[in-house]
């Protein structure tokens, strides 16, 4: 084989290698950990175990900040299953809530479900990487409870109006919404969970 042919083959091989490397670096892979996948997949079609502050290990976990989701994460089957199971957990007739955050089921990710009392049919909606970008100075005081704080209620001062930005749970498109009233309280309560904050930290009275 001639030297020029060898050079040509070497060039082709290098080019192919570079194309392969660039393809790999372009396709972001999901970031679900094996532990998270195991927990989400342990019993499809059922509610998840609620992590509560009366369990020492759960309590430490509930105080950790949650990690954001990538677009690849929401396209992964684990995300769909997590949403289904969070919904089953928060709508459990024996222990119903009006919102739930992923850390409450042992998943340290920035996902919350909020019951939209401000919409017809009052659906539960999921928000990925939610962030409050505006909190009104005007506040309202109201009673709150939490699925992770059994047998307790507390009065908390919250903003009357908030703006939440989030990634759309299907398209990952960045969106925002302005929310008022009781639904705004739920958003503030659930998004607090993502930084490890519980309503009992803010409550003026507890009983």
What positions carry a catalytic annotation?
A: 190
The residue (of 78 and 186) whose beta carbon lies closer to Zn ion is: 186
The residue (of 80 and 201) whose beta carbon lies closer to Zn ion is: 201
Question: How many CB atoms sit inside 10 A of residue 16's CB?
Answer: 10
The residue (of 64 and 175) whose beta carbon lies closer to Zn ion is: 64
**CA gap 152, 69 in Å, rounded:** 31
Name the minimum Å distance from CB 190 to Zn ion: 7
Name the minimum Å distance from CB 146 to Zn ion: 3
**CA gap 87, 102 in Å, rounded:** 11
Specify the DSSP element, H or E, that contains 171: none
Name the minimum Å distance from CB 193 to Zn ion: 6
Contact 196/64 with Cβ under 8 angstroms?
yes
- Helix axis angle for 77-90 and 34-41, nearest 10°, is 50
3-class secondary structure, 150 = strand
The residue (of 78 and 203) whose beta carbon lies closer to Zn ion is: 203
Closest CA to 195 of 115, 97, 129: 129
Name the minimum Å distance from CB 147 to Zn ion: 6
3-class secondary structure, 143 = strand
**CA gap 149, 19 in Å, rounded:** 53
Query: What residue number has its CB nearest to Zn ion?
Result: 146
Task: Give residues in contact with Zn ion (CB under 5 A).
Answer: 146
């Amino acid at each position: 084989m001639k030297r020029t042919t060898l050079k040509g083959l070497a060039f082709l091989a290098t080019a192919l290698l570079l194309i392969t490397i660039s393809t790999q670096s372009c396709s972001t892979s999901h970031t679900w950990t094996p532990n998270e996948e195991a927990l989400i997949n342990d019993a499809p079609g059922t509610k998840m175990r609620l992590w509560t502050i009366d369990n020492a290990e759960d309590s430490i976990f509930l105080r950790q900040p949650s990690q954001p989701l990538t677009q690849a994460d929401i396209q992964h089957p684990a995300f769909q299953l997590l949403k289904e199971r969070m919904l089953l957990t928060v709508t459990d007739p024996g222990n119903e809530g009006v919102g739930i955050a992923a850390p409450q089921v042992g998943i340290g990710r920035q996902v919350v479900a909020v019951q939209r009392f401000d919409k017809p049919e009052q659906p539960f909606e999921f928000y990925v990487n939610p962030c409050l970008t505006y909190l009104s100075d005007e506040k309202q005081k109201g009673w709150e409870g939490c699925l992770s704080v059994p047998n307790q209620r507390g009065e908390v001062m919250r903003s009357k109006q908030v703006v939440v930005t989030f990634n759309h749970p299907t398209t990952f498109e960045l969106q925002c919404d302005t929310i008022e009233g009781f639904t705004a309280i739920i958003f503030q309560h659930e998004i607090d969970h993502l930084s490890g904050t519980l309503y009992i930290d803010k409550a003026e009275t507890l009983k």
